[in-house]
Structure 1
């Protein structure tokens, strides 16, 4: 019986060079020729940015003619949706059709074993009700140097090359957060902050309309449902957006998350393992706290505590 591969869903905005390099890296996977590719191209925010969006769409049209995927579909938004809405709508549409999906954004470069790993994980954990998502990225953690498995599992979700199933995504009903309930639930907030320093602040900024993030809401949803995420010991994806060109990027800070692509050519061995407390602890505290990082985190927590005081006054 012929294996059915999950579609790859890619999101592009105004960086033509990056989206093409991303897609070319995925295409180097031998499974690409039997994989459907869907690319969502967001519209320009203003006339000033229209030329870059046009360049992306022209580049995608040229790429489509030579691409080595089973099929290529490019969906162009008439107006700017923003990354959060683009991803929520695009992933929802794809999952409703295919039941599972692999997601990349334009600033990612993947290994030539990326699709093998992702499809393998989607197949292996599909019937495991405890697993909510698969990440192709791994954190550059010290504890992993002596780790003897190919994968590890955490309560924290991730968004740099990831995959999920329709029943876990659940039509993105989680995107409409009950913020009042969230801010009242001290235990949930503590658990959320313990998955990664700063998540609680991001929820506050989301509530205040200062950011628009699908990822912070998705990761919260996974935590609330007690769904785990599978990670590889060695990364199948690296981020090429550390040049500061991304919407929410900070080149100096983001560079701490850099991981080299996996060089081992063997197939990944998947297992059902419990979360490792040491791995989760180091990942939650990443990036490692120097003096500046500690000061910034302290100020962030003060901002959240000030909000809580005002809210409860």
Structure 2
């Protein structure tokens, strides 16, 4: 962005009980001085000692930290809805009022160019229903195609992302279509990856049985089965700083999450066609799949080759 200019794209910042990570993310937002900022905060869990105090500290900080010319809208909840309903309803609230926007959680720290990257592409693809979201996180770190600023993928991360009202209006985190008995086959058609399709089917089912309290698996599956593409930068723009104590889901991290963060060069270099890069999509999906038997067999190429042929023969 031009030095001293303000970001015109609205931002939704999702917060909860982590003051230090919230401060770091807001500092990144302050760099681009958005003219419109939405703040959403879930209520404290009554059974968690000191959580009400932590939530109050985060809100007090936010109430006093916006020191640039900016319209601020707030959704501070009195009671706890949990990750699934709180995040989903906050996103709905945001996009009821905005045609497009950027969404950041309190542990997703963006490089400064992430904002302009999203803003330009939100405008470029505003009416293109083939595109479902823009992700700032590239779990591969950097992709080999250095001639492009981004690629199209069959899926993208919600660790720093953006989308349009036209997409959110179609999404329901509790949509029973996600429990369709043919969901696995639908996902296989969309991704051509049996491991990813099986994993996503299982994770979505877990959210409906209460085993998992989240919204993001539903969001990703919804886009896949509706043939929507995700824009992913060829170089990673987001650092997740939320691993460890106090995290809801990202409690543990390994070296795979320690990914370099870059800035995008402008002007952006656009793909010449709007098609999913299947090689990239498959590699990206593998970064969040469980490290099971196939992962360990990679150290034994001959055994892996036999395993792969057997797996193909039985259709599993």
Range of TM-score over shorter length: 0.7 to 0.9
Partner in structure 1 of residue 176 of structure 2:
177
Q: 1-side partners of 2:172 and 2:41: how far apart?
A: 23
Report deviation, 1:140.
Answer: 1.6
Let me know the Cα RMSD of the aligned residues.
Answer: 2.7
Moved more, 36-45 or 149-158: 149-158
Number of aligned positions between the proteins? 286
* Distance (whole Å) between structure 2 residues aligned to residue 288 and residue 216 of structure 1: 12
Counterpart in the other structure of 1:123: 123
Per the alignment, residue 17 of structure 1 pairs with 20
For 2:156, the equivalent position in structure 1 comes to: 157
Unmatched 5+ stretches in structure 1? 296-313
Larger % of helix: which? 1
- Over 3 Å counting, the alpha-carbon distance change for 1:118 and 1:231 in structure 2 is same
| 1:43 and 2:43 aligned | yes
The alpha-carbon distance between structure 1 residues 178 and 136, as it changes in their structure 2 partners (threshold 3 A), is: same
* CA pair 19-213 structure 1, distance change in 2 beyond 3 A: same
Cα deviation 1:105-150 (Å, max 9, x = unaligned): 00011111121111101011112121011111112267x1354211
TM-score (norm 2): 0.81
Pick closer, same or farther for the CA change 1:175–1:119 going to 2, 3 Å: farther
The 8 Å contact of residues 192 and 200 in structure 1, kept in 2 or not, is answered as no
Partner of 2:230: 229
SS in structure 1 at match of 2:253: helix
The 1:58/1:157 distance shift into structure 2, 3 A limit, reads: same
In 1, Cα distance between the equivalents of 2:200 and 2:18?
A: 27
Which position in structure 1 is the counterpart of 2:65? 63
1:102–1:87: structure 2 CA closer, same or farther, 3 Å change rule? same
| 1:106-255 equivalent positions in 2, closer than 5 A | 106-140=106-140, 144-170=143-169, 172-173=171-172, 175-178=174-177, 180-181=179-180, 183-191=181-189, 194=193, 196=196, 198-253=199-254, 255=255
Residue 3 (structure 1) shift:
10
Indicate the SS of the match to 1:252.
coil
Are residues 10 and 172 of structure 1, via their aligned partners in 2, closer, same or farther at CA, if it must alter by over 3 Å?
Answer: same
Secondary structure in structure 2 of the residue aligned to 1:128: coil
Q: Report the Cα offset of residue 97 of structure 1.
A: 1.3
Match of residue 74 from structure 2: 74
CA, structure 1 residues 186+103, in 2 after alignment: closer, same or farther (shift >3 Å)? closer
Deviation at 1:192, TM superposition (A): 6.8
Q: Distance in 2 between matches of 1:165 and 1:288?
A: 27
Given that 2:173 and 2:215 are in contact with CA atoms closer than 8 Å, whether structure 1 keeps it comes out as no
Determine if contact 1:238/1:259 at 8 Å carries over to the other structure: yes
Hey, what's the Cα distance between the residues in 1 that align with 2:221 and 2:163?
15
Aligned to 2:278: 277
How far off is 1:224 after superposition? 1.5
- Shift of residue 75, structure 1, vs aligned partner: 2.2
Would the alpha carbon gap of residues 50 and 191 (structure 1) be closer, same or farther in structure 2, given more than 3 Å must change? farther
**Structure 2, unaligned stretches of length 5 or more?**
297-316
Distance (whole Å) between structure 2 residues aligned to residue 192 and residue 274 of structure 1: 12
Q: 8 Å contact 1:9–1:102 — kept in the other structure?
A: yes
User: C-alpha separation between the residues in 1 aligned to 2:249 and 2:295?
Assistant: 20
SS of the equivalent of 2:172 reads: helix
Residue 309 of structure 1 corresponds to none
TM-score, structure 1 normalization:
0.82
